[in-house]
Structures are given as structure tokens and as C-alpha cells.
Amino acid sequence: MWIKEIFLMLIFGSFGFIVSAGVFTVLLAVGLIPRFAGKTHTGDHIFLYEEMVVAGSIIGNLWSVFQISIGLGQWFLILFGFFAGIFVGCLALAIAEMLDTIPIFARRIGFRHGLGLVVLSVAFGKLLGSLIYFFYRLASPLQ
Amino acid sequence: MGKEKDILYLKAERHIQVEKEVVKLSDIAKMTCSDSQIVNHLKTITVYKFKKDREKRKVISILKIIECIHEVYPDMTVENLGETDIIMEQIKVAEKKGVIVYGKVVFVSLIAFFGTAFTIMAFHNDIGIQDVFDNMYMLIMGESPGNITIMEVSYSIGLAVGIILFFNHIGGRRITKDPTPIEVEMRTYEGNVNTALVETSNRERKSLDVD
């Protein structure tokens, strides 16, 4: 039996190893953390930010794989939801930007003014979409 | 053997930050010349003066700087080995290390922490990791898995090792001497921002340049 156990250990160890490389290369290629650091002028603290990325992913992994209950109450949920929301919001737009959707489209239609309005519309669209998604439970299968 | 036949080599920086309102030539570029007196003199030349309560950032062209040098040494040959457009920025020193800075650091740290925690969970949800685990367990062990098996443990260890190796440090200590991926990415980002600043400034004709 031990052979199989060792085999399992080996393949799932490498699975985790490669997943982390893949997932974090994507996160990094999008360049979110440098952008946060650049915007807040806290480039000296990149080390800390990286440690937070490491800690966050390890703990998030433990939560989702082992389904550990931590029982920290509602304030923690609010904290988690708020900051995870910021991150995902930035991620979504950063990916859109990396693919140059906005510049290409703006060029095609000869768009010059009102970029601020477009950005605002995108933000409100996301907010509305997110609320509708959760409110009507769009994730659950249709009846 | 006139002094002014000498060649002045200068290497301009891409982005300079000054605390005072005057920008000296020595702030902008490193210079060398066979006559060190010329260099010492040129270092003290004022290139630009920031006006009070106006924009704190200005792009200056190397041509303007060469013009400044030619005003003093008209026959000097100037060779620029560095950047051709320089971003000058006036910064306040007192602003550093305040409560606000720490607030920002905490803010970004929280985003990084919760954001990545959420991302990895969403990813696991996306690929249906529990199904993959169960199926693999069946395939290899020939029996249904219990609650938590060796798979979850080894997967988590693999993930942790992968991330730590990827970012190249743990607990504030580097594993190898290379810069970490985000440090590299940060420099790339700064470079892109500087390029964008210069190009915007040139396009809006706000740069300091010769006509």
C-alpha cells in the first residue's frame, strides 16, 4: 500500500507546485501589485506585499482544500469581501487592459474625450452586474 | 589647445527627484570631460526652476540641456550617452514615513492577502478540485477517499513550496540573490509609466525643448 501512497504524494505535490507557478505567473503578468505599490508610492514595501501574496494564497488554499472553519464572525466577512472585491475588480480590468481592448476600441471609433465617464460606467456596470448576479443567484442552474 | 575644444560626455537619467525648487545640471546628468574644472563649473548650472504651487513634474529634452551648456561653453562638443528626455519631479521630504504611508501599506497588504486568498479559492472552485481529488484517489487507490487524505496535504505543501520558490523569499529572507518577480515587474511598470509621461508631455507640447 505504501507505494501507492508515495505515488499519490508525488503527483499531488507536483500538481500543487505547478498550479502555484501557473496561477501566480498570471497574477504577476497582469502586474497588479506593482501597480498598487506605484499608485500609493510605497514601492519600498514590495517585499511585504509579496509576503502577503504568499501568506494569502497559502491560507486561502488551506481554507478551500481542507474546509477549515475559523468562526471569526461577520466583521471578518466584511473585511474579506471588501478587499477581495477590490482585488478581483482590479484583476478583471487589468486583464481587459492587458489585452488592449479599450485602446483598440477607442481607436476604431475615433474616441477622444470622456474617458473618465467610460471608466465610471465600467465601474457601475460591474457593480450592477455583480449585484444582479448575487441577487438572482445566477450561478445556480436554471429551474 | 583651447579649453572649449574638449568633448563633454554626459549621461542623463530617466527620472530625477529633487527636494529644492532649482534643478541643477548635476541633478540631471553625470558628466565627464578631460578638464575637470569645466565639469565642476557645469554642475552648478541651473537648468530649471519649479514655480511655487504649479505642477511638480516637468519633462525636459536633452537638447534644452545642451543649449544650456552651449550658453556657457559655445564651442563645446557634447555627447549624450544617456536618456534623451528627462522627467524632473519635485518631492517633499517631510511627507515621507507618515501615518498615511503606513495606512497605504496596510491597505495594499490587505488587498494582496485577501485578494490572493480569494483567487486561489475561486480557482479551486473553478476546476472543481474536490472532484479531481476524488477521481484521482479512486483511480490510484481503488477505493473511495475518506475525509482528508494524503492528497490534500501533499497538494498544499506543493503549492506552498511553489509559491515561496516563485517569489524567492520567506519570512523577510531571500532564498537566492536574484530580485523577486514583483521587484522586476515593478521596474518594468516604472519604466512604462516614465515612457508614458514623456510621450504625453511631448504630445501636449508641455515639455521643455528647443524650438
**Angle (CA) A71 A53 A130, round 5°:** 65
- Residues in chain A within 8 Å Cβ distance of B152: 12, 65-66
pLDDT of residue A1: 65
- pLDDT tens track for B78-127: 888 888 888 888 877 665 567 888 888 888 889 889 988 888 888 888 88
Residue in chain A closest to B111 (alpha carbons) equals A83
Q: What is the pLDDT of residue B36?
A: 83
| Residuewise pLDDT in 10s, chain A (143 residues) | 688 888 888 888 888 888 888 887 777 778 888 888 888 888 788 888 888 888 888 888 888 888 777 777 888 888 888 999 998 888 888 887 777 777 777 777 777 777 778 888 888 888 888 888 888 777 676 65
Are the Cβ atoms of A61 and B167 closer than 8 angstroms? no
| Dihedral, B63, B64, B65, B68 alpha carbons, nearest 10 | 120
Q: Taking all residues of chain B, what is their mean pLDDT, rounded to a whole number?
A: 82
Q: What is the ipTM of this complex?
A: 0.73
Q: Report pLDDT for B1.
A: 42
Q: Which residue has the cell 477517499?
A: B145
Within A1-143, residue ranges assigned H as helices are 2-30, 32-40, 46-66, 74-98, 101-108, 115-135
Phi, psi of B61 (to 5 degrees): -90, 150
B119: nearest CB among A8, A27, A65? A27
* A16/B contact by beta carbon, under 8 A: yes
Q: What is the pTM of this model?
A: 0.71
User: Quick check: A133 contacting B, CB < 8 Å?
Assistant: no
Could you tell me if B65 and B12 are in contact, meaning their C-beta atoms sit under 8 angstroms apart? yes
CB contact (8 A) between residue A20 and residue B159: yes
Q: Are A24 and A7 in contact (CB under 8 A)?
A: no
Instruction: Count CB neighbours of B31 within 10 A.
Output: 20
Is A95 an 8 Å CB contact of chain B?
no
Pairing of strands B85-90, B15-18: parallel
Q: Does A35 reach chain B within 8 Å, measured CB to CB?
A: yes
B138 phi-psi bin (left φ>0, alpha ψ -120 to 50, beta other): alpha
How is the beta sheet containing B7-12 ordered, strand by strand? B29-32, B7-12, B77-80
d(CA A76, CA A93): 26
Q: What is the DSSP letter of B8?
A: E
CA distance A105 to B161: 41
Determine the pLDDT at residue B160: 87
Question: B29 phi and psi, to 5 degrees?
Answer: -140, 155
> Do residues B60 and B88 touch, judged by C-beta distance below 8 A?
yes
Q: CB-based contact (8 Å) between A130 and chain B?
A: no
Spatial distance between the Cα atoms of B94 and A5, rounded to a whole number of angstroms: 60
Looking at chain A, which residue has its C-alpha nearest residue B98?
A42
What CA–CA distance (Å, rounded) separates B38 from B4? 9
Beta bridge partners of B58: B88
**Whole-number pLDDT of residue B97:** 67
DSSP string, A39-63: HHT-GGGHHHHHHHHHHHHHHHHHH
Q: Which residues of chain B have pLDDT under 50?
A: 1-2
Burial class (CB in 10 A: 0-12, 13-18, 19+), A69: exposed
Element (H, E) at B47: strand B46-49
DSSP for B90-150, please give it: E--STTTT-HHHHHHHHHHHHHHHHHHHHHHHHHHHHHTHHHHHHHHHHHHHSS---SS-H
Q: Where are the alpha helices (DSSP H) in chain B?
A: 25-28, 36-43, 62-72, 99-127, 129-141, 150-167, 181-203
Q: Do B189 and A13 make contact, defined as CB atoms within 8 angstroms? A: no
**Mutation for testing the A interface, residue in B155, B180, B189 having most A CBs under 10 Å:** B155
Q: What is the CATH number of domain B3-94?
A: 2.60.480.10
Query: What is residue B112's predicted lDDT score, i.e. its pLDDT?
Result: 87
